[in-house]
């Protein structure tokens, strides 16, 4: 008999679920054509992000820690990387400090949105299956002014990554 995978909430399910949860109330949403910001959040598609409008966010899988809790119980902590990109040349007079302040504010709002969502829902529901999730402490990288320019020359971007540990409650196999 084959047991379930070590991560019962794989990235191809988790990452798209986060998109509408993260963006309300952010500058990303306010500056988007839809007013929701969801079209400026890309799930593992860095090339499409490079062709789109900024600011923009890339959601991608980070590390995955899974371990055995007992003979029949496992636990998993997938880390979601939320990479926030913005062009420092998109507004005349916008200083790097101003840009980074906006980026920091949006990343903090996104984490608060996720906390509030999980307080109300205790997890995500997919096809009737509830995936209970709690959050670990987020960590933030330093700003990277040459972010995508290394991969896509001509894009004068600044970036910062928020790593969010999503702690999945122990599950039986």
3-state secondary structure string across the chain: CCCCCCCCCCHHHHHHHHHHHHCCCCHHHHCCCCCCCHHHEEECCHHHHHHCCCCEEEEEEEEEEEEECCCCEEEEEEEEEEEEEEECCCCCCCCHHHHHHHHHHHHHHHHHHHHHHHHHHCEEEECCEEEEEEECCCEECCCECCCHHHCCCCCCEEEEEEEEEEEEEEEEC
Direct distance between the N- and C-terminal alpha carbons of the chain, in angstroms, rounded to an integer: 10
How far is the C-alpha of 35 from the C-alpha of 29, rounded, in Å?
5
**Confidence class of residue 173 from pLDDT cuts 50, 70 and 90?**
low
Distance of CA 8 to the CA centre of its chain: 18
- Please give the domain boundaries of the chain with CATH numbers for all domains: 11-172 (3.30.70)
| Residue pair 64/78 in contact by the 8 Å Cβ criterion | yes
| Residue pair 161/147 in contact by the 8 Å Cβ criterion | no
| Residue pair 63/79 in contact by the 8 Å Cβ criterion | yes
Q: What percent of the chain has pLDDT over 70?
A: 93
**Span 123-153, pLDDT tens digits:** 888 777 777 788 889 999 998 877 777 777 8
How far is the C-alpha of 69 from the C-alpha of 167, rounded, in Å?
14
* 71-84 mean pLDDT: 88
**Span 87-115, pLDDT tens digits:** 878 778 888 888 899 999 999 999 999 99
Between residues 108 and 69, which one has the greater pLDDT? Answer: 108
């Amino acid at each position: 008999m084959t047991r379930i995978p070590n991560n019962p909430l794989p990235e191809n399910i988790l990452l798209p679920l986060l998109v509408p949860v993260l963006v309300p109330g952010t500058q990303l949403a306010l500056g988007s054509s839809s007013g929701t910001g969801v079209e400026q959040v890309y799930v593992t598609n860095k090339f499409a992000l490079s062709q789109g409008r900024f600011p923009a966010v890339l959601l991608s899988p980070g590390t995955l820690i899974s371990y055995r809790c007992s003979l029949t119980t496992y636990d998993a902590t997938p880390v979601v990387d939320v990479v926030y990109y913005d062009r420092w040349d998109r507004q005349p007079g916008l200083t790097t400090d101003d840009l980074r302040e906006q980026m920091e504010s949006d990343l903090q709002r996104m984490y608060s949105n996720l906390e509030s969502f999980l307080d109300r829902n205790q997890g995500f529901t997919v096809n009737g299956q509830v995936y209970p999730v709690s959050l670990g402490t987020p960590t933030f990288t330093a700003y990277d002014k040459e972010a995508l320019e290394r991969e896509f020359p001509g894009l004068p971007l600044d970036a910062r990554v928020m790593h969010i540990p999503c702690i999945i409650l122990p599950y039986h196999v």
